[in-house]
Chain A
């Protein structure tokens, strides 16, 4: 009797599981099939360009607001008096992807893209500099 009482729920559960063999799978076959992430996704950083020029004016607000201290900005000026960053480094491995930098930027020059799977062989390769950040595509 006990055996039957124990077996019935097991069989019920099994029947339920078997039913699920015939519905569409809920998993993704990553990496062939990639998941669409939200518009607001906070992934890898990117410096925005406009006409081949960086939008960033090296004001240093993102550097000040960053809770993980991973941004380093150095300011310099062109001959016609425009300021731009001579150095803009982001240590991506230490970044916590909080999104404060893109919120703080007055020029909308830094952005966290929808790029979520980035990998490198060494940690050093994750210390991105200005030109690398500018090259990152909007995902």
Chain B
């Protein structure tokens, strides 16, 4: 695995990570360099592996549910949404409509928070310190709102098989409306300060180009494939939950560079706000938990597959069960892991500083890669 540089050529092997700030966690990238140019970048995984899939096979569905938020600290609720939907599909559980709306509203709010975290971290990678303070200012409000309903700020543990554990209240609805208004004023500010900034543009425009063909070959998903001009979003192409009832667009940009991915995410914040707004308007009354949830969620022998759109791309759960309340096999396809596979091809021949920009634009969450 370790590339052996040819001593006759002046190549250099450089370890980026496992403790490198711009890898956002414990990811190690083995770089074969020719001066400042990257010849080959090889991601090395496994430093933070916690055997989540195995844990899913020894714990009951409900017991494992507490784990899912630990995989993606940025957008924990999308991971939770996928898991509860998979279990519900497996055991034919009908969820009250209000609960499904609440799930979508909170997940989208979490997606906004996740994208805000990304903007801050991405610009920090590029050497701009201040934007993270602004984006965290906004993210803080989103997290406060989520904390108000769920009781935690990162590992929400809020959805349950059969609904959600607590109803949302007036204070959350009012607060969310205010947050939407505030974000709509802040997005132009981000565009003015960041997107139009000449230094930023020089760092990201035309860097790390992923064309349509390459994106399809590697199966990248989420904002990365949408930045290459392919409108692939599970919420539209394979609608789940109550998403078909909302009116929202899938932003795409054709350039395929880091700038396109930045723009996609900025536009997605706006689209998520639209979904939240419509969700709060349409929110039906009723219970938030189905009656008589079984203590042990059982199903007949069988398997199921559920994919949802997480903040970073397509997230799939595959559950096979032999009739007990514990899955026989659980497979999780996490978006960052598949997106990372493209790194080697995209970054061959670019500058080291551009590699940081490319990795930043991928929005890598390491606990989700090393799950």
Q: Do A and B come from one complex?
A: yes
Q: Write the residues of chain A forming the contact surface with B, with a CB cutoff of 8 angstroms.
A: 5-6, 9-10, 12-13, 16-17, 26, 37-42, 65, 67-68, 96-100, 103, 112
Q: Are A98 and B66 interface neighbours, CB within 8 A?
A: yes
Bound: A16/B199 CA distance, A: 17
- The verdict on B342 contacting chain A, using a C-beta distance below 8 Å, is no
Q: Are B63 and A67 interface neighbours, CB within 8 A?
A: yes
Q: Are A16 and B155 interface neighbours, CB within 8 A?
A: no
Interface of chain B residues 144 through 164 with chain A (CB within 8 A): 147-152, 155, 157
Contact among B59, B62, B63, B148 with A40 in the assembled complex (CB-CB below 8 Å): B148
Bound: A37/B196 CA distance, A: 38
Contact among A12, A26, A37, A99 with B157 in the assembled complex (CB-CB below 8 Å): A99
**Chain B residues closer than 8 Å to A65, beta-carbon distance:** 62-63
Q: Are A67 and B59 interface neighbours, CB within 8 A?
A: yes
Q: Are A9 and B152 interface neighbours, CB within 8 A?
A: no
Q: Are B151 and A6 interface neighbours, CB within 8 A?
A: no
Contact digits for B190-216, partner A, Cβ 8 Å, 1 yes 0 no: 000100111100000000000000000
Known contacts A40-B166, A67-B59, A99-B157; is-contact A5 B151 (Cβ 8 Å): no
Q: Are B140 and A41 interface neighbours, CB within 8 A?
A: no
**Chain A residues closer than 8 Å to B8, beta-carbon distance:** none
**Chain A residues closer than 8 Å to B66, beta-carbon distance:** 67-68, 96, 98, 100
Known contacts A41-B147, A42-B151; is-contact A67 B197 (Cβ 8 Å): no
Q: Are A40 and B130 interface neighbours, CB within 8 A?
A: no
Looking across the interface, which residue of chain A has its beta carbon closest to that of B193? Answer: A13
Q: Are B130 and A17 interface neighbours, CB within 8 A?
A: yes
B127 CB to nearest A CB, Å: 13
Q: Are B166 and A26 interface neighbours, CB within 8 A?
A: no
Contact digits for B145-189, partner A, Cβ 8 Å, 1 yes 0 no: 001111110010100000001100000000000000000000000
Known contacts A10-B199, A41-B151; is-contact A67 B64 (Cβ 8 Å): yes
**What are 9 A-B residue pairs whose CB atoms fall within 8 Å in the complex?**
A5-B198, A9-B196, A10-B199, A13-B193, A37-B147, A65-B62, A67-B66, A97-B155, A112-B151
Q: Are B130 and A13 interface neighbours, CB within 8 A?
A: yes
Given contacts A41-B147, A42-B152, A100-B62, 13 further A-B contacts (CB under 8 A): A6-B199, A9-B196, A9-B197, A9-B199, A26-B137, A40-B150, A40-B151, A40-B166, A41-B151, A67-B64, A68-B66, A97-B157, A99-B157
Contact among A10, A16, A38, A68 with B151 in the assembled complex (CB-CB below 8 Å): A38
Pick from A6, A10, A100 the residue with the most CB of B within 10 Å: A100
**Chain B residues closer than 8 Å to A112, beta-carbon distance:** 151
**Chain A residues closer than 8 Å to B197, beta-carbon distance:** 9, 13
Known contacts A100-B62, A103-B165; is-contact A41 B152 (Cβ 8 Å): yes
